[in-house]
Amino acid sequence: MKISPLGDSALTLDFADESSDQARLLARTLSAAERLEGANLPGVMDVTCAYESVAVFFDPARIEQHFEDKIGALVSSAGIRALRKARKIEIPVCYDDEFALDLARVAGQTFLTGDAIIALHSSIEYTVACIGFVPGFPFLAGLSDKLRVPRLESPRTKVPAGSVAIANAQAGIYPFESPGGWNVIGCTPLRLFRATENPPTLLRPGDRVRFRRITRAQFDAEQE
């Protein structure tokens, strides 16, 4: 683990040197984040994780002496326990042409048929690596290598809410209409972000996610 400052009021703990296995690293960061959150260290305001790292945000005026050492000690003993209690969540997706804005493009780049892409996309169990870009946007790890396609060369200014998309080794879902450069292959009727609830997101880091294919009629029926 390597600790480095993220500005004057935060630290990044980088676990990349501990393993080359993505799933193991994810488990490591989630466990470390959970341990740090649970410790309620004075001055700590926020703990967040992403793939191979955890960030701790704090008020420099309120932290105790040897803050970094304490964090190091807490995290070293955190192990990789977090993933055992992962929640499993199913996301219904309509892959019809009207939603699958880039399916033809992905087919051209992967030499797969639309149906084969959909079958692959909805057969995998993904792990929520982190949430970011916009509130509630899940970065899902576990996409099949056969579905690796680059981002759009010029991003869309408006990606519709609920769009299910892929880019490089990742899958994701746009919680609300926003600009974006990922390849859109379907749409979910579920709402991923509700500002009036806490926690505000349907998904949380560490959750296991599967996509389930639905028809247009089911999409309308399940629309939230």
Partner 1 sequence: MISSVILAGFQTTVQDCGRVGLRKFGVTPGGALDSVSLRLANLLVGNPDCMAGLECSSGRVRLKVDVDRLVAWAGGEFKIRVGDDLIPILHCARVSAGAAIEISPKRGGRAWLAISGGVDVPEILGSRATDLRAHFGGWAGRVLRDGDELPLGGESKLCSRMRKEISDVVSDWSAPRFVPRGRFLRVIRGKNWEDDIGEKLLGQKFRVAMNSDRMGLRLEGGEILPGNPRELVSEAVAPGTIQLPPSGAPVVLLGDCQTIGGYPKIAHVITVDLGHAAQLQPLDEVRFELIELEEARALLRERERDVALFRAGLEARFG
- Rule CB under 8 A: choose which of 178, 181, 213, 218 binds partner 1: 178
Looking at the Cβ atoms of 45 and 221, the one nearer to partner 1 is: 45
| Residue in the block written with tokens 């579905």 | 147
Q: What residues form DSSP beta bridges with 165? A: 172, 184
The yes or no reply on residue 7 touching partner 1 (CB under 8 A) is yes
Tokens coding 133: 């870009």
Contact 114, 103 (CB under 8 A): yes
Looking at the Cβ atoms of 116 and 134, the one nearer to partner 1 is: 134
Binding letters toward partner 1, positions 11-50, x by CB under 8 A: -x-x-x----------------x-----------xxxxxx
Quick one: residue 178, left, alpha or beta (phi over 0 = left, psi -120 to 50 = alpha)?
A: beta
Binding letters toward partner 1, positions 137-156, x by CB under 8 A: x-x-----------------
Quick one: residue 81, left, alpha or beta (phi over 0 = left, psi -120 to 50 = alpha)?
A: alpha
Alpha helices (H) along the chain: 22-39, 67-76, 103-110, 114-121, 216-222
- Rule CB under 8 A: choose which of 41, 109, 134, 210 binds partner 1: 134
The yes or no reply on residue 70 touching partner 1 (CB under 8 A) is no
Q: What is the b/e burial string over 93-129, where b = at least 16 CB atoms within 10 angstroms of the residue's CB?
A: bbbeeebbbbbeebbeebebeeeebbeebbeeebbbb
- Rule CB under 8 A: choose which of 64, 65, 154, 195 binds partner 1: 195
- Rule CB under 8 A: choose which of 114, 132, 160, 189 binds partner 1: 132
Looking at the Cβ atoms of 102 and 207, the one nearer to partner 1 is: 207
By CB under 8 A, the residues from 72 to 101 that bind partner 1 are none
Distance set, CA 16 to CA 22, 34, 98, 137 (Å):
9, 18, 40, 23
- Rule CB under 8 A: choose which of 28, 31, 36, 52 binds partner 1: 52
Binding-site residue total for partner 1 (CB under 8 A)?
45
Q: What residues form DSSP beta bridges with 139? A: 130, 172
User: Where on the chain is the footprint of partner 1 (CB under 8 A)?
Assistant: 4-10, 12, 14, 16, 33, 45-53, 55, 57, 60-61, 130-137, 139, 175-176, 178, 193, 195-196, 198-201, 204-205
